[in-house]
């Protein structure tokens, strides 16, 4: 009898190893009152575990490699698992690819990469899992906890009465991102949080030790569920990995594979750094390993281009409009080469929260507004028919039913009205309810519900075309794109496709619709392509500009308010803190990029007299709207200061080499030192570096720093997060 998983993972001697045929639980599981369940292994791993243990070599190393269960397996190349979790507004999608580590080291995508992208099929037998969740409150433990239910588990929980239908949280991604559309679920979240706290209070926990429930928890639970489920799919699909196969995916929470796992999280391109930080925190809490965030339209476009790559595509700019349930995202790229596959971004991507789901919401708003005078009559009729609803519940029903009207509509003038049957609806012919229990949705109502959505998509595309035209005139882009790809589930909408084509029919590009093969997982699989070859994107467009402040002497001081004037005690001059940007908005920069800003400091001698030296503070700023030099930083609503400055300690001994000066008016002594602040970009790593010449003064080029300069660094994450690492480097 083999040892149980509890003892095997802890490298203990297990009582089960020498047990009788009755298979009693091992000591470890008996002490913990756990069910002793050795994991169901694949054929390969079972065979491996049944082989006699080989003796260790004198060096203490096992001659054969071991899998994540501790079983010896046939030697082979180490694997890397690339995974993408696309937590969409309407549906969650996922995919993965198993690669050898040597393939990652080649620096480009293998030729058969596309065929190896594997979409995930969920418990619903679909590749798209509805983004809806219900929570079951477990009061049997202290403190009480919430158990999320998804897919078939959610359906069963509703059938068994554990979760009520109106307590299911749907389309909550916009809420996580702080958007207004998501506010409809806020009351549900607050209700769940209050119920959880009420239960914990009854268990004797004071307020400080009670758990609150919020949007972060929604995303954490979804990402955790998706990650564990994908692990189970990989375990069954790739038996050569010899991973344990557990039906209960929660068992993967405490299990760590030996293989390297990297995960891509596609997000709307307008996701702010604060929102990226929230998503990364949710991923961390969910137990996800290495995470890369990427733009949804870039992922969709890379999937399309990589699948259809051809030499004729080189030098061709391509636009994409990715229309999801929650957002519409625009991006534009140019193909630079095919082997290896390389592309550069042409314009800053754009997002509007105008996805396909907003059309349903608009119909709900328009219809309920049109029958507001009949509200009481409608609610009473529903109740008398045994189908009671609140006004909001009726709206939810209409919103869900309208999905069928969108799919059925062909955009012609002779389209018949779409019929919705809701038990208890009264007959109000003037409001498209010609008979009891029936609501008609005429073509005009469908078009009216689409109007705002289509206008917003048109605005995104039109604005991008104008920016691209400016780039063509300036010579930074060779020519205008000749193709606009419509991608995402929302692009299946016939009326949307018709209107986009009609509105841009006079422009010199065609509106194309990529092949529907695996359409719903396009973003997820495209994210894996971006993850597999991080050098694929050779240039990106700046959409958040970073800067430092410099104390400047303006020509006309009185042109500025006195509250931004600052008196310098070094030389008695008046200066103003003004911006010096490292890069400009809409600027195209490579993945590896360096730029610098010079300045000077004048530490007072009395401040550096101690053995500890001084700490230089370099304040960092950013803006999403302006990037010009010479903007007053204090009191400016367009430029924000980053949460923490860069702090660098300079020991007192270094000041022996610096020039010392004296203020003639006050007699105070101070040190003069030149220094340079550099921004170094390497993928998603953003490093701010301060370089100070050893003798405090820049020399003549080419070696302006001289011998042995002081170099200090602070690392940030420019994929969206603010401070990740910000240490005071002690050069002692």
pLDDT tens, 354-388? 888 889 999 999 999 999 999 999 999 999 999 99
pLDDT at position 147: 94
Tokens of 99: 């690669």
Count other C-beta atoms under 10 Å from residue 384's C-beta. 11
Residue 660 CA to residue 469 CA, distance in Å, equals 54
Please report how the helices 296-307 and 522-532 are oriented relative to each other, as an axis angle in degrees rounded to 10: 80
Count other C-beta atoms under 10 Å from residue 543's C-beta. 15
**Residues 6+ positions from 117 with CB-CB distance below 8 Å:** 95, 97, 525, 528, 529
pLDDT in tens, 137-150: 998 888 889 999 99
Cα pseudo-dihedral 155, 160, 162, 166, rounded to 10? 60
pLDDT in tens, 529-570: 988 887 888 888 887 888 999 999 988 998 999 999 998 888
Cα separations (Å) of 242 from 42, 46, 320, 413, 509? Answer: 6, 9, 40, 59, 51
Residue in 67, 70, 8, 72 with CA at minimum distance from that of residue 36 = 8
Tokens of 150: 């998804």
SS3 (DSSP) at 669: strand
Residue 287 CA to residue 292 CA, distance in Å, equals 14
Q: Which of 40-44, 398-402, 710-714 has the lowest mean pLDDT?
A: 40-44
**Cis link prior to 340 (omega < 30° from 0)?**
yes
Tokens of 679: 């921004």
Residue 299 CA to residue 129 CA, distance in Å, equals 19
pLDDT at position 76: 62
Query: Strand ranges (DSSP E) for 450-585?
Result: 483-487, 510-512, 537-541, 545-552, 566-567, 574-581
Give this prediction's pTM.
0.73
Query: Strand ranges (DSSP E) for 582-658?
Result: 588-590, 592-601, 614-618, 620-623, 640-641, 646-650
Residue in 158, 155, 136 with CA at minimum distance from that of residue 147 = 136
Q: How confident is the model at residue 25 (pLDDT cuts 50, 70, 90)?
A: very low
pLDDT at position 717: 57
Q: Which residue has the higher pLDDT, 154 or 32?
A: 154
Residue in 523, 497, 493 with CA at minimum distance from that of residue 510 = 497
Instruction: Answer whether 252's CB lies under 8 Å from 230's CB.
Output: no
Q: Characterise 161 by phi-psi region: left (phi > 0), alpha (psi -120 to 50), beta (else).
A: left
Instruction: Answer whether 305's CB lies under 8 Å from 343's CB.
Output: yes
Residue keyed to tokens 């078009």: 447
Provide DSSP, 86-120: EE-SSEEEEEEEEEEHHHHTTSS--TTTGGG-EEP
330 DSSP β-pair partners:
321, 350
Q: How confident is the model at residue 578 (pLDDT cuts 50, 70, 90)?
A: very high
pLDDT in tens, 245-265: 999 999 999 999 989 999 999
**Residues 6+ positions from 557 with CB-CB distance below 8 Å:** 565, 574, 576
pLDDT at position 176: 67
Residue 119 CA to residue 29 CA, distance in Å, equals 37
Residue 294 CA to residue 297 CA, distance in Å, equals 9
Count other C-beta atoms under 10 Å from residue 418's C-beta. 20
State phi, psi for 571 to the nearest 5 degrees. -135, 10
Instruction: Please give the helix or strand (H or E) that residue 266 lies within, else none.
Output: strand 260-267
**Residues 6+ positions from 272 with CB-CB distance below 8 Å:** 720
pLDDT in tens, 267-286: 887 777 778 888 888 999 99
Residue in 219, 217, 328 with CA at minimum distance from that of residue 268 = 328
HSE-up of 612 (CA within 13 Å, CB side)?
7
pLDDT at position 646: 78
DSSP state of 721: -
**Residues 6+ positions from 160 with CB-CB distance below 8 Å:** none
Residue 553 CA to residue 575 CA, distance in Å, equals 5
Residue 262 CA to residue 96 CA, distance in Å, equals 10
Reduce the secondary structure of 441-484 to three states and give it as a string.
ECHHHHHHHHHHHHHHHHHHHHHHHHHHHHHHHHCCCCCCCCEE
pLDDT at position 107: 67
Cα pseudo-dihedral 274, 647, 678, 693, rounded to 10? 180
592, pLDDT greater than 90: no
229, pLDDT greater than 50: yes
**Residues 6+ positions from 170 with CB-CB distance below 8 Å:** 130, 131, 132, 185
**How buried is residue 221: exposed, middle or buried, by Cβ count under 10 Å (0-12/13-18/19+)?**
buried
Instruction: Answer whether 378's CB lies under 8 Å from 394's CB.
Output: yes
DSSP state of 622: E
Mean pLDDT of all residues in 391-418:
88
Instruction: Please give the helix or strand (H or E) that residue 319 lies within, else none.
Output: strand 317-323
Tokens of 188: 């549900």
Tokens of 380: 């009473």
pLDDT in tens, 480-528: 998 898 888 888 888 999 999 999 988 888 888 766 555 678 899 999 9
Percent pLDDT > 70 in the chain is 84
pLDDT at position 577: 93
Q: Which of 73-82, 347-356, 632-641, 720-729 has the lowest mean pLDDT?
A: 720-729
Q: Give residue limits of the domains in the chain.
A: 129-291, 545-730
Provide DSSP, 686-728: EEEEEEE-TTSS--SSSSTT-SS-EEEEEEEETTS-SBS----
pLDDT at position 47: 32
Residue 661 CA to residue 250 CA, distance in Å, equals 67
Residue keyed to tokens 């709206």: 395
Tokens of 471: 């780039």
pLDDT at position 207: 83
Buried b (16+ CB within 10 A) or exposed e, 387-397: eebeeeebbbe
Beta-sheet pairing, 118-119 with 91-100: antiparallel
Mean pLDDT of all residues in 112-126:
90
DSSP state of 157: H
Provide DSSP, 30-86: HHTT----PPBPPHHHHHHHHSPPPPPPTTS--SS-B-TTS-B------EEEEEEEE
**Residues 6+ positions from 166 with CB-CB distance below 8 Å:** 393, 396
Q: How confident is the model at residue 136 (pLDDT cuts 50, 70, 90)?
A: very high
Instruction: Answer whether 591's CB lies under 8 Å from 687's CB.
Output: no
Q: Residue ranges of the alpha helices (H) in 173-264?
A: 173-176, 186-202, 215-237
């Amino acid at each position: 009898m083999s040892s149980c998983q509890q003892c095997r993972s802890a490298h203990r001697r297990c009582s089960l190893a020498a047990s009788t045929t009755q298979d009693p639980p091992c000591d470890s599981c008996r002490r913990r009152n756990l069910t002793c369940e050795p994991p169901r292994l694949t054929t390969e791993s079972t065979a491996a575990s049944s082989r006699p243990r080989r003796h260790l070599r004198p060096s203490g190393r096992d001659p054969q490699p071991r899998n994540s269960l501790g079983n010896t397996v046939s030697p082979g190349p180490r694997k890397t698992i690339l995974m993408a979790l696309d937590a969409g507004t309407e549906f969650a999608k996922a995919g993965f690819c198993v690669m050898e580590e040597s393939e990652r080291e080649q620096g480009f995508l293998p030729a058969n990469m596309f065929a190896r992208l594997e979409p995930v099929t969920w418990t619903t037998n679909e590749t798209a899992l509805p983004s809806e969740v219900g929570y079951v409150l477990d009061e049997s433990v202290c403190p009480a906890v919430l158990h999320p239910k998804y897919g078939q588990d959610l359906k069963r929980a509703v059938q068994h009465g554990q979760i009520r239908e109106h307590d299911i949280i749907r389309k909550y991604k916009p809420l996580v991102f702080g958007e207004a559309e998501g506010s409809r679920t806020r009351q549900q979240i607050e209700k769940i949080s209050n119920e959880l706290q009420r239960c914990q209070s009854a268990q004797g926990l004071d307020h400080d030790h009670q758990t609150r429930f919020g949007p972060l928890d929604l995303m954490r639970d979804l990402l955790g569920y998706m990650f564990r489920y994908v692990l189970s799919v990989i375990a069954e699909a790739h038996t050569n990995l010899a991973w344990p196969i557990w039906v209960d995916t929660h068992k993967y929470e405490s299990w760590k594979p030996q293989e390297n796992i990297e995960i891509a999280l596609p997000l709307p391109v307008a996701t702010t750094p604060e929102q990226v930080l929230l998503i990364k925190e949710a991923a961390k809490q969910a137990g996800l390993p290495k995470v890369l965030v990427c733009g949804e339209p870039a992922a969709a476009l890379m999937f399309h281009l990589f699948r259809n790559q051809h030499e004729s595509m080189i030098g061709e700019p391509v636009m994409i409009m990715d229309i999801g349930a929650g957002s519409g995202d625009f991006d534009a790229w140019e193909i630079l080469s095919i082997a290896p596959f390389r592309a550069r971004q042409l314009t800053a991507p754009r997002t509007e929260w105008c996805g396909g789901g907003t059309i349903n919401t608009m119909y709900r708003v328009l219809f309920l507004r049109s029958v507001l005078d009949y509200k009481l009559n409608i609610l009473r009729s529903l109740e008398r028919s045994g189908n009671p609803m609140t006004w909001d519940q009726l709206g939810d029903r209409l919103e869900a039913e309208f999905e069928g009207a969108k799919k059925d509509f062909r955009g012609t003038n002779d389209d018949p009205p779409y019929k919705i049957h809701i038990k208890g609806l009264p007959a109000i012919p003037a409001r498209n309810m010609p008979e009891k229990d029936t609501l008609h949705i005429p073509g005009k109502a469908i078009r009216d519900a689409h109007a705002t959505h289509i206008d917003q998509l048109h605005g995104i595309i039109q604005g991008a075309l104008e920016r691209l035209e400016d780039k063509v005139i300036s010579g930074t882009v060779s020519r205008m794109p000749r193709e606009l790809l419509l991608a995402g589930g929302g692009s299946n909408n016939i009326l949307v496709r018709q209107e986009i084509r009609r509105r841009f029919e006079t422009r010199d590009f065609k509106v194309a619709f990529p092949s529907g093969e695996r359409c719903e997982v396009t973003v997820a699989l495209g994210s894996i392509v971006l993850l597999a070859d991080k050098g694929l994107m050779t240039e990106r467009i700046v959409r958040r500009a970073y800067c430092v402040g410099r104390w400047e002497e303006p020509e006309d001081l009185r042109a500025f308010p006195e509250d931004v004037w600052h008196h310098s005690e070094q030389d008695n001059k008046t200066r103003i803190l003004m911006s010096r940007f490292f890069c400009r908005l809409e600027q195209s920069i490579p993945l590896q990029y360096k730029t610098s800003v010079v300045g000077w400091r004048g530490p007072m001698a009395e401040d550096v007299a101690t053995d500890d030296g001084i700490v230089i503070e370099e304040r960092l700023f950013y803006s999403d709207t302006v990037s010009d030099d010479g903007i007053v930083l204090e009191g400016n609503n367009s430029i924000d200061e980053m949460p923490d400055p860069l702090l660098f300690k300079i020991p007192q001994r270094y000041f022996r080499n610096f020039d010392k000066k004296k203020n003639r008016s006050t007699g105070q002594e101070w040190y003069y030192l030149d220094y340079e602040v550099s921004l170094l970009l390497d993928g998603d790593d953003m490093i701010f570096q301060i370089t100070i010449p050893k003798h405090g003064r820049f020399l003549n080029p080419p070696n302006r720093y001289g011998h042995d300069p002081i170099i200090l660094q602070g690392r940030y994450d420019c994929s969206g997060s603010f401070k990740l690492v910000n240490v005071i480097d002690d050069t002692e």
